[in-house]
A and B are shown apart, each in its own frame.
Chain A
Amino acid sequence: MGPRAAGESGHELALVDNAIDLELDLRCYRLSAIKKAAYRFADRFTAVLGSPAQDRIAISLRFKSTVTEVAAREATRMFFQELLDQELREQIAAETDPIRTLILAHAFSNLDLIKREP
């Protein structure tokens, strides 16, 4: 496997025993992002995560026995997209969570809701 995550170019993906095995770079995707992306795809495959070693983590996408290779590859491709999205979400959350807390505190500190006059 190269330095990049296996499968990102698509053609390395192989469906073996109804599973596609990948290795992800934790510098690209933090663990929480990987877990959340896997959760979202639970209807298509069950992701079994290995334990992280250095900057890498093994992940096995286990499909139902009825899956076709084409469908499994497509799901894996979508999974990579989702990983990117999920990683971005984690970044945004890290950046904006403090301000959300601040605004919420501000919003509910005094409950004199501005009301429309009847």
Chain B
Amino acid sequence: MLLKLSGRGLRALGEVSSRPFIGRISTDVAQRGPNEIWLARGGAGVPDGFRAYLLAGPRPVMPPRDSYALGPEFSYLSDGDVIRIEPDRGAVHAIYRRNSRTNSLLVTERCNNYCVMCSQPPKDRDDSWIIDDLLQAIPLMSPDTGEIGITGGEPSLLGPRLIELVRCLGQCLPATAVHILSNGRGFATGDLAKALAQLHHPDLMLGIPLYADVPEHHDYVVQARGAFDETIRGILNLKRHGVRVELRFVMHAETYEGLPAFARFVARNLLFVDHVALMGLELMGFARTNLDALWIDPLDYQRELREAVETLHRARLRVSIYNTPLCVLTPDLHPFARASISDWKNAYMDECDGCALRTQCGGFFASSTLRRSRGIARVRLG
């Protein structure tokens, strides 16, 4: 199932606010409040005291202010979800879904890298309003949320505002793990790493992509000269201050040959990182733009992948393989494979029906139908 997280699914039923606003979906009258948005799937009665009303059923006679008819593509919205409504465009955007295992908050679309396979191509425009919204949205999220991801763009470009955001997460959702995807460059100098560390967030991890053992190759992949140097310094700085760091390596035609050297480099230089994630290519964004240049059947890099995993594992680093169907991996790599693709992104193919590994398998990004590995084949346990 693919969910549409934002779109113009609202039709105003009467008078509406002039500015965008944020609120939490509720179907319980007792929850009424200035940040709550009433969701009605049917029935006529509309309770008062809510910030806005999303009505999937019949139009009430006297719709309160900020009442909207909700399009069917948003029928998945449910209690506890946090949304942003733009009345003038009739747009709704699901910032947070309570029932999802993985919620990612995009904090900016700006970035100082320009990765050849970026799944979320950066846009260079002022989007500082996003973080204001998020600071409003976070207090509305459920404290038993398992994990929140922070993505971009490049979050560290926000500087002190990123710190503000993480502080807010730590205060409002103290039991929620926070995973920030950053290219690390913003932590190379200055006090950002220290400020982040001083928040003493109980469960914080930075996921930082590193694509090679030498600058020339990494810089090429991220299309920014000097990026490797800053990323490495950023990692050192973060670890020096005690922030947990995960390295992320996306495997594609321009990186896979360097996997073994990358692994040796990490085992020798960055032994103190907390996790190394080796990831299959998601065919989105620039990966699509550069599809022919970047696509390689994962079957064709198993040797390099195997060697890298061996090196990292022997060095007692925690290592995981993501975004790769199990049937494509050699069996000795299965223990390292993790099923992690967010629920709204993953899909299976016909072969997967009746496959013995299906429950453990990550399956595919829905986008991967563009290219498929020769190795996809139902696995039957003998």
Contact = CB atoms under 8 A, between A and B. Distances in A.
Are A and B physically bound partners?
yes
Interface residues of B, number: 7
B240 A116 contact: no
Interface of B is mostly: mixed
B272 interface: yes
A90 B60 CA distance: 91
A51 to B, nearest CB: 48
Chain A residues touching B, range: under 10
Contacts of A112: 240
B236 interface: yes
Nearest to B316: A116
B233 interface: no
Interface of A is mostly: loop
Interface string B236-269: 1001100010000000000000000000000000
Contacts, number: 11
A97 B380 CA distance: 62
A95 interface: no
A114 B274 CA distance: 12
A117 B236 CA distance: 14
A115 B236 CA distance: 11
B356 interface: no
B293 interface: no
Contacts of B244: 117
Contacts of A115: 272
Interface in A83-113: 112
Contacts of B272: 114-117
A103 to B, nearest CB: 14
Nearest to A115: B272
Contacts of A114: 236, 239-240, 272
A117 B246 CA distance: 13
Interface string B47-69: 00000000000000000000000
B274 A117 contact: yes
Nearest to B271: A116
Interface string B319-339: 000000000000000000000
Nearest to A117: B274
A76 B205 CA distance: 62
Contacts of A116: 271-272
B200 to A, nearest CB: 15
A113 to B, nearest CB: 9
11 contacts: A112-B240, A114-B236, A114-B239, A114-B240, A114-B272, A115-B272, A116-B271, A116-B272, A117-B244, A117-B272, A117-B274
Given A112-B240, A114-B272, 9 more contacts: A114-B236, A114-B239, A114-B240, A115-B272, A116-B271, A116-B272, A117-B244, A117-B272, A117-B274
Interface of A: 112, 114-117
